[in-house]
A and B are shown apart, each in its own frame.
Chain A
Amino acid sequence: QSSSTSSMSGLKLSGDKPIQIESDKLEVRQNENLAIFTGNVSVVQGPTLLKAGSMKVYYVKKPEAAGKDKKPAEDAGVSPISGGANIDHLEIDGKVYIKSDDQVATGDSGTFDMKSQVLVLSGKKVVLSQGPNVLVGCKLTVQMQTGLAQVDACGGRVMMSLTPNSKNAQ
């Protein structure tokens, strides 16, 4: 199973810029610490843009204070409105499109884990392109902090086409 790693930087999550999420509908389930955005969801942060059919945001559940007196957990109402809630991970599906600076990645669905800052895009045909260079496979893993992207062919072949002179053209 050949996989090629190429360090295409760019798909980074700039932590300090405000995030703006837009969608047709948002349902927040406080008990399940879950927020579901549906209907052409778009997430913008600095240069990074993500578009998808729907996005589920899972928040960190407050660990039950075992043993301590059964005081109801303070911020039981964990939700995007509460802003401060820290996100555990996101699940994105319905034709995912991620663009950051000059890199574009598309796939059928994806997950993004906040703690490890790893974005995984999967689908029949996952494409990562930077300018004219294109990488096609069935699974794309991007370390958002470093921008390191890795495409797996999961059995098939990774198709990568580099246009040499494009490297220095940028």
Chain B
Amino acid sequence: MELARPVEIAGSDVGAAMAQPEPNPVRVTAFGRARQHSQRVRVLKLLLPLAAVLIAVAFPVYSYWSAPPAVDVPTDTSAFSDGKLVMANPKLEGMTRENLRYALSALRAVQSVDNENIVELEDIHAKLPVTAANTATIGASHGIYDREKNTLDLDQEINISTTDGVVAKLKSAFLDMGKGTMTTDEPIDITRKGSQITADTMSVKDNGKVLVFENRVRLNIDPATLQAGKQQGGE
């Protein structure tokens, strides 16, 4: 409070002093210091905001500039490729209704994310039991396995061979593992020990117990095998 009042008195003196002779030295040094102070304030009044602005601008620029262009997050070889789950050599085993083991394996299985029941198999190898002593080995280059219905749709070349010597070549086939049935509506060619069956369609029911061939069925029996058959029968 003390400070405020003297300033007013000084103000009026300054006006009066202009015309008076040399004021006393104490007032002059005080006045000098005051003037220096106000100069310093005037300069700082400008400098400080400027510095603030400068810092405000420099900081984001600097941080942007120093951030690395791209961050590569190291991940291991993901099993996903273009939205599909890829499994290397999957295996599947189960029991048919007659409680006989069947096995299915493939080189690659591709499963689309939106429907995980459908699995596309490549280079398939399947073992289906015909009877306890006789199993059919099926090789196919491509097929679609439906886990829900337990069926396998082989839409390309298929080779089947059974332990009792039957060799079958099919163009396509639809297998129902659970029921143990297989159907194909493309020409088939089945041979065994010299005798051969060709037909336009074939369907195999309950695990190979019943085979139905239709349309242009042709069976060639080579007598040598018939003779062999007789000798076998003769023992």
Binding site for B on A (CB under 8 A): 15-31, 37, 60, 72, 74-77, 79-87
Q: Is the CB of A26 within 8 A of B133?
A: no
- Tell me, yes or no, whether B232 is within 8 Å of chain A by CB: yes
B residues contacting the other copy or chain, number (CB 8 A): 40
Provide the residues of chain B in CB contact with A25, threshold 8 Å: 212-215, 217
Binary contact readout B139-165 vs A (1 if CB under 8 angstroms, 0 otherwise): 000000000000000000000001011
Instruction: Enumerate the 10 nearest inter-chain pairs by beta-carbon distance, A residue then B residue, closest first.
Output: A83-B195, A86-B229, A83-B225, A84-B229, A86-B233, A28-B211, A21-B219, A26-B213, A26-B217, A19-B221
Q: Is the CB of B166 within 8 A of A24?
A: no
Q: Is the CB of B217 within 8 A of A20?
A: no
Q: Is the CB of B219 within 8 A of A77?
A: no
Binding site for A on B (CB under 8 A): 130-134, 162, 164-166, 190, 192-195, 197, 199, 208-223, 225-230, 232-233
- Closest Cβ–Cβ distance, residue B17 to chain A (whole Å): 136
Q: Is the CB of A18 within 8 A of B133?
A: no
Provide the residues of chain B in CB contact with A26, threshold 8 Å: 197, 199, 211-214, 217, 219
Q: Is the CB of A76 within 8 A of B134?
A: yes
Q: Which of A15, A19, A20, A80 has the most CB of B within 10 A?
A: A80
Q: Is the CB of A83 within 8 A of B215?
A: no
Q: Is the CB of B210 within 8 A of A27?
A: yes
Provide the residues of chain B in CB contact with A15, threshold 8 Å: 223, 226-227
Q: Is the CB of A83 within 8 A of B194?
A: yes
Provide the residues of chain A in CB contact with B216, threshold 8 Å: 22, 24
Measured CB to CB, the nearest residue on chain A to B225 is A83
Q: Is the CB of A29 within 8 A of B219?
A: no
Other A-B pairs beyond A74-B133, A77-B208, A82-B164, 12, CB < 8 Å: A19-B220, A20-B220, A24-B215, A26-B213, A77-B130, A77-B131, A77-B162, A81-B192, A81-B211, A83-B193, A83-B221, A84-B195
Assembled-state Cα–Cα distance A86/B225 (Å): 9
Provide the residues of chain B in CB contact with A86, threshold 8 Å: 226, 229-230, 232-233
Q: Is the CB of B133 within 8 A of A30?
A: no
Q: Which of B192, B210, B215 contacts A82 (CB 8 A)?
A: B192
Provide the residues of chain B in CB contact with A31, threshold 8 Å: 209
